[in-house]
């Protein structure tokens, strides 16, 4: 998944999420799966400037189309006049050398991706899934748990996490508030809040 942020000029950024044509050949194929299973997109990094409840996420479908300029070859042929043959030998004949260059339109791929925005929604918040809470943190809804989850999302490890240091990080606390981050415990491959694990039966 590829994503980009766009400054709205209103103090926050919107998010553009690309749905790849490799896994979803048509927009309808994505919508069919979304209606059946819901939408869940894994973020490899936290989006910059996004504020939950204000920022809009736009879904864009990318379909590959053959590059018109190079006709799908990814290369363009170039002809260069290298030297003239003396008139007494071959009249006005020129020696021409041909070579290929990478097509600048498709960057040598032979195809281009044409994104089409087909859906949008206001971002409600961000969930960060973790396997368990570390010693000393018991409430999954606490700021401590969210700070820990934020650390895990960045470093994929507990290494270097210090709760006292995390509590004093004003930027992270503001980020948690802006993105409305919640920590969620993974249970048997399914993400469920801790309360549901204890009282779900």
Co-location of 46 and 116 in the same domain: yes
Q: How many structural domains comprise the chain?
A: 3
Co-location of 93 and 155 in the same domain: no
Co-location of 17 and 116 in the same domain: yes
What DSSP character marks residue 131? S
Co-location of 54 and 74 in the same domain: no
Co-location of 132 and 195 in the same domain: yes
Cβ partners under 8 Å of residue 90, min gap 6: none
**What mean pLDDT value characterizes the chain?**
81
Co-location of 134 and 186 in the same domain: yes
Cβ partners under 8 Å of residue 25, min gap 6: 63
Start-to-end Cα distance in the chain: 36
Q: Which of 79, 95, 124 is the last residue of a domain?
A: 124
pLDDT of 137-186, one tens digit each?
999 999 999 999 999 988 888 888 999 999 999 999 999 999 999 999 98
Co-location of 56 and 151 in the same domain: no
Structural domain of 88: 68-109
pLDDT of 178-188, one tens digit each?
999 999 998 75
* pLDDT computed for residue 145 by the predictor: 95
* pLDDT computed for residue 48 by the predictor: 82
Q: Residue ranges of the chain with pLDDT lower than 50?
A: 87, 189-201
- Residues 142 and 65: their CA atoms lie apart, in Å, by 48
Co-location of 40 and 120 in the same domain: yes
């Amino acid at each position: 998944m590829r994503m980009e942020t766009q400054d709205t000029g209103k103090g926050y950024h919107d998010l553009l999420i690309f749905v790849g044509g490799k896994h979803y050949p048509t927009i309808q194929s994505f919508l069919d799966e979304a209606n059946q299973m819901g939408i869940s997109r894994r973020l490899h990094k936290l989006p910059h400037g996004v504020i939950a409840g204000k920022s809009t996420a736009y879904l864009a479908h990318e379909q590959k189309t053959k590059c018109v300029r190079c006709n799908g070859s990814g290369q363009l042929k170039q002809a260069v006049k290298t030297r003239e043959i003396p008139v007494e030998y071959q009249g006005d004949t020129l020696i021409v050398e041909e070579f290929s260059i990478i097509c600048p339109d498709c960057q040598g791929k032979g195809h281009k991706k044409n994104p089409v925005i087909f859906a949008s929604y206001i971002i409600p918040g961000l969930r960060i899934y973790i396997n368990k809470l570390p010693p000393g943190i018991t409430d999954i809804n606490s700021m401590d748990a969210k700070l820990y989850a934020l650390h895990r999302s960045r470093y994929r490890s507990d290494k270097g996490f210090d709760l006292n240091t995390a509590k004093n990080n004003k930027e992270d606390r503001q980020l948690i508030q802006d993105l409305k981050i919640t920590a969620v415990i993974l249970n048997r491959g399914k993400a469920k809040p801790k309360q549901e694990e204890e009282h779900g039966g």
